[in-house]
Amino acid sequence: MKFSVSPHIEKVHFPPISEVREWIADRTFEAERPLIDLCQAVPDCPPSMVLTNYLSRIVNDPQICRYTPDEGLLEVREALGRWYGRTYGTPLDPASLCLTVGASQAFWLAMVVLCREGDEVVVPLPAYFDHLMALQMLGLRARYAPFDEAAGGIPDPDVIASLITPATRAILLVTPSNPTGVATPPEIVTQLFELARQRGIALILDETYNAFLGERPHDLFADSDWGGHLVHIASFGKTFSLTGYRAGLLAASPAFIRHALKVQDTMAVCQPRITQLALGFAAENLDGWVAVNRETMILRHDLFRAAIAEAGSPFRLAASGPFFAWMRHPFTDRTGREVARRLADEANLLCLPGEVFGPGLQSYLRFAFGNIREGEIPEAVERLRNFES
């Protein structure tokens, strides 16, 4: 390559899931020992037939191919505002919502509006790797709150408060966590929101996996001034099995959204219209379907935990939730990447190494339950139990 690239980009590691896929790109797997994919958080169930039937009826409408307003169709944002009401107890004004190309784009909108190069963001570990990659690309400094295994990975507001400096622009919290699966208790979320308000910064709250909780995550939207210090990121790809539709959302004050639309217009213009219509329909019609899938994911989590406890596996469960297990591997002389690579090569088992989720996490691996059926769980755990250094 003759030209140079940005030094920020140079420092960013290659996308972790793409890296793991490259490990097996040239391999074939025998039927008696198939690949078990616990790498990417993708629901294995198809979208609701009710939703796909709806989409098949509208796909030939010429309007489907057209732009929408940058923030998204009003009727879709109204439907999602009502969805917030059912999920959080408080409906949201459509003026506080911007539909985005996945939650990752919503995060970029938030960071570009909030920060400039050299600013800091407080990030509890382990952290979602896409967020860390974006911070590096933007020239922002992450101040890490260390992972506390004894606390189950629940962030400590006092530790986070100690990391805030005059350069801090935001606290970043993902709950339920990717990669641990652990949901931060509502009272801790509230404490972090109040901390952000006291310090004059933002709480960026990514709740991509909130549909798998089955209970109200928190009551922050009941605060009449929630938009003064809260920037909320949602994703519906997992919720409605629409990951390829890239169905994300940014919720913030109307003033913040107007600034975000400056970035939106130069980045994506708008979320695809067909994605918006799918979201509007799903938000109004699929609560029951979502509840059934939630129970499926909870069952997989329970089965995995029970199997690990019974198997005497050398891989120890450090934290987990309905979508993920955060495991400590037993090999003190090996990195997570080395262990994950050997699991792929020798056990036909895919997972992600801990170090892609932040510094000092080489002793961990992330396993995702989206791709694995209940009947495959015993075999996956057996492969871990029999894996040797």
| pTM score | 0.93
Instruction: Say yes or no: 242 and 357 in one domain.
Output: no
Contacts of 81 (CB under 8 A, 6+ apart): 91, 92, 93, 94, 96, 97
How many independent structural domains does the chain possess?
2
Residue 29 has a CB neighbour count (10 Å cut-off) of 11
Residue 234: pLDDT above 80? yes
pLDDT digits (tens, 9 = 90+) for 285-335: 999 999 999 998 899 999 999 998 886 788 999 999 988 999 999 999 999
Instruction: Say yes or no: 34 and 123 in one domain.
Output: no
Sorting pLDDT into bands at 50, 70 and 90, what band is 31?
A: confident
Residue 2 lies in a domain: no
Boundary of a domain, candidates 286, 305, 325: 286
Instruction: Say yes or no: 248 and 108 in one domain.
Output: yes
Q: 3-state DSSP call for residue 230?
A: strand
Instruction: Say yes or no: 142 and 244 in one domain.
Output: yes
Which of 288, 252, 226, 206 is closest to 77 using CA atoms? 252
> Kindly report the CA angle at 371 between 280 and 341, in degrees rounded to 5?
130
Give the mean model confidence (pLDDT) for residues 169-182: 96
Place of tokens 């505002």: 81
pLDDT digits (tens, 9 = 90+) for 59-80: 999 999 999 999 999 999 999 9
Give the mean model confidence (pLDDT) for residues 112-135: 96
Residue 278: give the domain boundaries.
49-286
Residue 1: pLDDT above 70? no
Q: What is the CATH number of the domain that holds 208?
A: 3.40.640.10
Sorting pLDDT into bands at 50, 70 and 90, what band is 184?
A: very high
pLDDT score for 219? 95
- Please count the residues of the chain: 389
Q: Does residue 207 contact residue 172 with C-beta atoms inside 8 Å?
A: no
> Kindly report the CA angle at 178 between 34 and 158, in degrees rounded to 5?
150
Does the N-terminal peptide bond of residue 126 adopt cis geometry, omega within 30 degrees of 0? yes
Bridge partners, 335 (sequence order): none
Boundary of a domain, candidates 270, 286, 302: 286
Query: In angstroms, how far is CA 153 from the centroid of its own chain?
Result: 16
Q: Beta strands of the chain (E only): which ranges?
A: 36-37, 97-101, 120-124, 141-145, 168-174, 202-206, 230-235, 247-251, 316-320, 324-328, 349-350, 352-353, 364-368
Give the mean model confidence (pLDDT) for residues 253-257: 98
Instruction: Say yes or no: 35 and 108 in one domain.
Output: no
Q: Torsion angle, CA of 324/219/102/145, rounded to 10 degrees?
A: -60
